[in-house]
Amino acid sequence: MATIGAFGVIFDADGRVLLCHRTDRDLWNLPGGTMESGEVPWMTVIREVEEEVGVQVVVEQWSSISFKPQNDDLVFTYICRVVGGALRTSAEADEIAYFPVDAIPENTSPRQVERIRHAARDRATCVVNVQSPTTETTIARAFGAQTATADWPRV
């Protein structure tokens, strides 16, 4: 079933990124989640950030959109700024911390790391990509090439 998700990249004054550790898996990720009926993606990220980590944010910039063809999912990523509230854990996040972009925990999804690095590197550009390791591997094999993780393309 197709879903639409939205995640917030939130930097502190030192350029560190806010991550939350999931309670259901040993993974760090950006705060965010699935869009609910009647929402638009930027409303989703505002709601999800407050639910997961306790702060209110405003959306400053659309950073990326990723299409996951294996599920027909869309993932929107926004650069957000904290405007209120206080960081706190939740039922979805048992730890919350700011990390330097070059020292993100190893147990962070590689796709989330790509989104973070793009936002840190180029806050003025939105990128669009297709997120599909299966498709990338199939295409590479068809052309006799090896697969590798590539930097985000600019659109």
113/101 Cα distance (integer angstroms):
9
User: What pLDDT, on the 0 to 100 scale, is given for residue 132?
Assistant: 64
Q: Catalogue the long-range contacts made by 35-42 (C-beta closer than 8 Å, 24 or more residues apart).
A: 35/3, 35/4, 35/5, 35/6, 41/4, 41/6, 41/76, 41/78, 42/6, 42/76, 42/78
CATH 3.90.79.10 assigned to 4-142: yes
* pLDDT reading at 142 higher than 50: no
Mean pLDDT of 59-77: 90
Report residue 131's pLDDT band, with 50, 70 and 90 as the boundaries: confident
| Residue 122: per-residue pLDDT | 86
Highest mean pLDDT among 66-70, 91-95, 111-115: 91-95
Spans of all domains in the chain: 4-142
pLDDT tens digits along 78-112: 999 999 999 999 999 999 999 999 999 999 988 89
